Structures are given as C-alpha cells and as structure tokens.
Amino acid sequence: MTTGPRLSLLGVAMLAAGAAQAQDVYFSQAYANRQADNPAWAGLVDDYSATLSYRDQFPQLAGSFQTVQLAADWRLPRPGLHHALGILISQDRAGTVGYTRFGATAQYAYHTRLTRTLALSGGAQLGYGRQRVGYDNLTFGDQYSADGTYTGASAESLAGFPPVNYVTVGVGGVLYAEQAWLSVSGQHLNRPDLGFRTQAGLPLRLAVSGGYKLFLQKAAGAGKGEVHEISFTPTLGYTRQGGSQRSEAGAYFLADPVTLGALYRNLSSPDLGTQHVVAVVAGIAFGDLRIGYSYDVGVSQLASDLGGAHEITLTLRAFDRVESAFRRLKRRNYPPPLVLASDSS
C-alpha cells in the first residue's frame, strides 16, 4: 500500500474513533444552528424557519471534516401557540477513505409563560444515526506500473467495516425573557453504541449557554411589522462530553440588516490538550432571508496547523410581529417573543 492510503486510513481510524468516543460537530454560528444544541429552541424565535448550514473544518488535512445540516421548525398555531415541531437532518463526511455519518432527528417543544415577563420552553428529541467507512476511492501500489501508469483493480481486500446504526435521545430547556435567555440541554442520554468492531458508547453531552441583548436603538420601520434596531449581545457557553470540554464567550453587534460578531473558544481534551480558537462572524438580512458566514482562526499551534474552519448558513424565517404585539396587548397566556444574537445572521 502506498504512503498516501496509509495516512488516509490512519486519519479515518482517528476520526472514527473520535466519533465513537465523544465528539459531536459544533458550529461557530451556534444560534443560527440552535436546534442542534437544544430541542427546546424549536419554534421559539420564529413562527417557522429553515436553516441550511455547511461547515468545512480542518481544510489543511487531506480530506477535511465537512458537515451539511438542514434544520426546520414550526410553531403550531393551535392550540394556543404553545406547541412546536422541529426536524434536524445532517451529513458528516471526513477523510479520503470516506467516513460518513448521517443523522435524522425529530423534535418537540412546549412553550409556557411563568410570569408576565418570563417564559419557559421544554423540548425532547429522538434521532437516528448511521455511520460507515468506505474504501472505494483509494488507490494502491499494485494498481500502478513502474512508470506510474494506472493498470486496474487492486488485489487488496476492501471489505472494510459494516455500517453502524444507532438511536439517540435528548432533552433540554430554555428559560427566557424578551431580551435574555438561558439554555440547558442533555444529548445522547441513552449513550448509543457507535463502535465498528468493539463496543464504544457515545458519551452524554451536557451544554449550558446564555446571553443578553442590549438594545441601543429600536424603532418601527416603514413596512408592516418592521423593526429596525441597533443592539449589542454578549453570550457565554459551556459544553462537556466525555473527557472533553468546551467553553466560549462571544459578542455580537447588530445594526439592521448587518450583524458582526466574534467568539473565543477554549477546547480541552485528554488527547489534544488545550486548544484556543477565535471565530469571526458576519451576517446580513434580505427580508426573510438571512445569510451568515464565519471563519475559525486557530490561536494554538495545533489548531492553527489544521487550518480552522469555514461555515456558511442560509436561513428562511417568518415571524408575525403585529400579531405578537396584539397578543401582548390582550395579555393572553402566550410566551413573550425571544430575540437572539442571530436574528439577522
């Protein structure tokens, strides 16, 4: 076998082991991808929304870790706007060997008011996952002649590993007011087995995050239900999964229709030690369409060598602000609307 395939096989073995041992994909645009963090976010910000995300991580490696995710949610109009449904579909791909992981998750959330200004959303989710490793795109030394000419199929055995199927369960809650929120979630409560040859459970993932939006200016626009704002939003987050943990602090500045942000992330694991990453975020809104882009910059040596990450999000969303104001004036038992750092990214 040539050196290239050996390195590819080693890379996929490491990635497969990492997937089996602990690490879910994380997004730098966390609030644009909030359903991946906590099922209680379903239907909480908009009447409905759909977000398509793409993340290309470690681009300096041969065969970077790429993730495509589609998230959608819908707040049911009856009874009482308390119920919401969500769906999350993702595809991860890594390495030239062809490691892939597919996931599909159904979510449900219930929103209720605790006081006139404080509300709670509780959510649960059930997901299906499938991961596999394929060797079809590898070439070996016996497929080439001495002058480098391709000669045909290899005699190497390419049986590989059988696919792994699993089910995962998660729950979460979001305590929120109109300008502030606190999110707590637990994923993989059943610790599903992701091992290819031996049993390897996916550890429980616990996450806590929160933020506060400070309005510097907020005024009604010329259009129906339009609101123009200038705001500053600091955020904090902490995630622990297995022996690894991630803490982060961010700040976002919104001046309709543009959002700019920066995020510092501290990653700690037994295998890689402590890594430091800074992500810069930019977003713009065109009516109900939101476009966001972020780039991770590795501050630590290893994180820098791996090449950071690119991330793009496209969001289509709708929220009836006029109806929301009417509900508040009538003092009905509906939760207040929540505004996030990602409202325009």
> Given pLDDT bands bounded at 50, 70 and 90, which one contains residue 157?
low
pTM to 2 decimals?
Answer: 0.80
Domain count of the fold of the chain: 1
pLDDT at 213 over 80: yes
Structure tokens at 337: 């609307």
Tell me, yes or no, whether 40 lies in a domain.
Answer: yes
Structure tokens at 245: 């943990």
In terms of pLDDT, which residue wins out, 306 or 233? 233
Name the phi and psi angles at 152, rounded to 5. 140, -155
Tell me, yes or no, whether 345 lies in a domain.
Answer: no
Tell me, yes or no, whether 99 lies in a domain.
Answer: yes
Report residue 336 CA to chain centroid gap. Answer: 25
Q: State the Cα–Cα distance between residues 321 and 292, nearest whole angstrom.
A: 23
Q: Cβ distance 36 to 69 under 8 Å?
A: yes
| pLDDT at res. 16 | 38
208: Cβ–Cβ under 8 A, 6 or more apart, which residues?
182, 183, 184, 237, 238, 239
Tell me, yes or no, whether 343 lies in a domain.
Answer: no
Tell me, yes or no, whether 83 lies in a domain.
Answer: yes
Phi-psi domain of 58 (left: phi exceeds 0; alpha: psi -120 through 50; beta: other) = left
Show the domain range for 275: 3-329
| pLDDT at res. 193 | 83
In terms of pLDDT, which residue wins out, 134 or 333? 134
Tell me, yes or no, whether 335 lies in a domain.
Answer: no
Lowest average pLDDT, out of 87-91, 143-147, 317-321, 341-345, goes to 341-345
* Residue 305: CATH number of its domain: 2.40.160.40
Only one residue has tokens 């690894």, namely: 244
Report residue 62 CA to chain centroid gap. Answer: 23
The mean pLDDT of 70-82, rounded to a whole number, is: 88
CA distances for 98 relative to 42, 136, 164, 249, angstroms: 32, 8, 14, 34
Q: What is the DSSP letter of 306?
A: H
Residues 160-199: tens digit of each pLDDT: 567 889 999 999 999 999 889 999 999 999 999 876 555 5
Tell me, yes or no, whether 32 lies in a domain.
Answer: yes
Tell me, yes or no, whether 194 lies in a domain.
Answer: yes
Closest CA to 194 of 229, 167, 216: 167
Residues 112-154: tens digit of each pLDDT: 989 888 999 999 999 999 988 766 555 666 656 666 666 666 6
Q: State the Cα–Cα distance between residues 98 and 317, nearest whole angstrom.
A: 34
